[in-house]
Structure 1
Amino acid sequence: VVAIGAAIQGGVLAGDVKDVLLLDVTPLSLGIETMGGVSTKLITRNTTVPTSKSETFSTAADNQAQVEIHVLQGEREMAADNKSLGRFILDGIAPAPRGIPQIEVTFNIDANGILHVSAKDKGTGKEQSITIQNSGNLSKEDVEKAAKEAEANAAEDKKKREAVDAKNGLENAIYQAEKLKKDN
């Protein structure tokens, strides 16, 4: 596949092949680990590159001073079942109740396939980032294996994800009820 693409691209560059556009895509989804060990996808599989996607997250505990951004690659619902590409810490978050700080996470894949991930606290302006050079260097077999594993485990993964989502929702409801009781 790579050799065919290179041959076509060579023909395009030489002017011998016209009306052909080669697009590079992300072989697997990219995202981060969120509360409860869930994999939250920011860039889905087969998205054309270059591309950029931002999403806003928050803290999971009161007065949380830092968050760990765990960058993942894969199609599974739980972070542990995907490939870890890297981690970094955003610290200096101002003390606040959980859910109040706004952390903007941005995934940017450039034309060379290099992944840049940044996290910025909208309140303080503090920012951290990581650059991952080879997130797209997967063989066809690796991509197919990951897709087949995701498909084979889809029902079980969905149950796990729903259980974590329910637990997170319940914990949030308890937190809100305790906060309401404390405020009154």
Structure 2
Amino acid sequence: MKILLIDDHALFRDGLSLVLDGLDTAIETFEAGSYEAAEVIMRAQPDLDMVLLDLGLPGTSYLDALRAIRQQLPKAFIVILSGTEDYKVVEASLQNGAQGYIPKSSPAKIMLSALQLVISGGTYVPAQILQLKPVTNVATPITQATEHRLTPRQYDVLQQLATGKSNKAIGSELQLTESTVRAHVAAILKAFNVPNRTHAVQHASQHSWL
């Protein structure tokens, strides 16, 4: 898999390259410190599989850069990396071609889980940002999810799955035993008719339940 890292901080790019080594596939990384440098790489590597884009690139609007990348690499996965946790920014990113939005403060394990979800066809947005979504009169994700055979507690577990947490960590967060969490996860997989946690989160994301 060919991945292009676009970030103006070399130290962050170096750290991210180490994180990417944890993906379950062979990785070839390319690095750019500006959008102009990224354009050169994209022209030379038109078969890039994924682009990780920093929102704060100097000298260019992130939306302009995002749209241009999507136009130039229509089949590539595009994931935003940012220190900003603003729902409107996330929404604009997804509407303009991104398949994921990962805060730079995320632990390496969460980043890997998020990237694996995107690679499998899902969309990743962390739960803490989804909670910032303005309230509307339309059906809420939890209402929609419970209509599809999830209990409110199972929906709580589903939200935690979306952050990449282990059963033990979910139990600690929700004050449940690890065996109870396993039972809820099994019920979610059965309700969604999917084989594993990643596909469950992907299924929920595709139906806007997260």
Bigger proportion of residues as strand: 1
Higher relative contact order (CA 8 A, sep 6+): 1
Q: TM exceeds 0.5?
A: no
- Which bin holds the TM-score, normalised by the shorter protein? under 0.3
TM-score, scaled to structure 1: 0.24
